[in-house]
Amino acid sequence: MKEQEAELKADRLSPHVFRIAVPTITLPPLDKTNTYVVHAGTDAIVVDCGSEDTATVAQVAKVIRSEGIDNVIAYIATHYHLDHTRGIPLLQQHFPAPVYAHPLDHAGTAKEMNVPTADLRAPSGVMHLSDVNLRIMHRPGHTHGHLHVMIEPDNLLIVGDHMAGVGTVWIGPPDGHMNDYYRALEDIAESPANLALPGHGDPIESPQEASRALLAHRLEREAGILQLLSEAPRTVDDIVTAIYGDRGLGPALWVATRTTQAHLTRLIELGQVTRRAQAPKFQMVYSRRR
């Protein structure tokens, strides 16, 4: 289905928040990125918009207007990746407003939006829409400038690409850092949120339990990597093959590879793993520290 053939609609999540699942270029099996609209009266703040299709973004604008909104006062990019930012300039043509992103993601956001970095603003701690507060928190992990947005009083937490409605998310260099991601998951687990609103897929109920389960999964994967390295030194490709076998990752292979690299980086920082270059291709070989 082409992007412009998709029928977009508002999925109401609370009195002040709805989402629009927008077709984007993203990782399968997901083919949409959520745009969240937080509003009070006729004013709104839009979080993420990733479609580069003009007709699709025109539909996004139509849906926003159908909810009684005629003024967008700001855009927030949870992080710079194209499936979260490419549509913002197109939506600005319908609703002009400044764009806020964390300064650590300004360079990437400007590149994806094709604008000067000077056009981007750094978010303050809180944005206000009448009696609605958007508490913007720097939560690196997926990227260095990744943001979470707590919407009060609705107690909804936008978590960007730190959680997904289906499956897990990827964390990898040079953008991401596994230890930062663990801290972001711990913050979600300690939050009062009733729902976590991910970048892709449906809202996540019991976000505290879900984030703890994600953390446990990642730590289990780390333990598996350590076990493999206890048996023999291995390259990243060796580790990925041992973990995923013949599951046919296809286009997702690079995701598994980069996430494995992020785990290895953390284990090196913890002093549990060493690495060295091995001839003839000078591949990095990882060993468990004895």
Q: How far apart are alpha carbons 54 and 74 in whole angstroms?
A: 20
Cα end-to-end distance, the chain, whole Å:
53
> What pLDDT shows up at residue 4?
44
**Regarding the domain delimited by 222-288, which CATH topology (the fold level of the hierarchy) does it fall under?**
Arc Repressor Mutant, subunit A (1.10.10)
> What pLDDT shows up at residue 5?
54
Instruction: Parse the chain into domains and list their residue ranges.
Output: 3-216, 222-288
> What pLDDT shows up at residue 247?
67
Distances in Å between the alpha carbon of 49 and those of 36, 122, 139, 210, 288?
A: 8, 18, 19, 25, 43
pTM: 0.95
Domain 3-216 belongs to what architecture?
Answer: 4-Layer Sandwich (3.60)
The residues, any chain, with a CB within 8 Å of residue 8's CB and separated by 6 or more, are: 20, 21, 22, 56, 59, 60, 62, 63
Chain-centre distance for alpha carbon 235: 28
Q: How far apart are alpha carbons 103 and 117 in whole angstroms?
A: 9
Q: How far apart are alpha carbons 189 and 94 in whole angstroms?
A: 37
> What pLDDT shows up at residue 282?
78
Q: How far apart are alpha carbons 144 and 104 in whole angstroms?
A: 6
Q: What is the pLDDT along the chain (290 residues), one digit of tens a residue?
A: 344 455 899 999 999 999 999 999 887 778 999 999 999 999 999 999 999 999 999 999 999 999 999 999 999 999 999 999 999 999 999 999 999 999 999 999 999 999 999 999 999 899 999 999 999 999 999 999 999 999 999 999 999 999 999 888 999 999 999 999 999 999 999 999 999 999 999 999 999 999 999 999 999 999 999 999 999 999 999 999 999 876 667 777 889 999 999 999 999 999 999 999 987 777 899 999 98
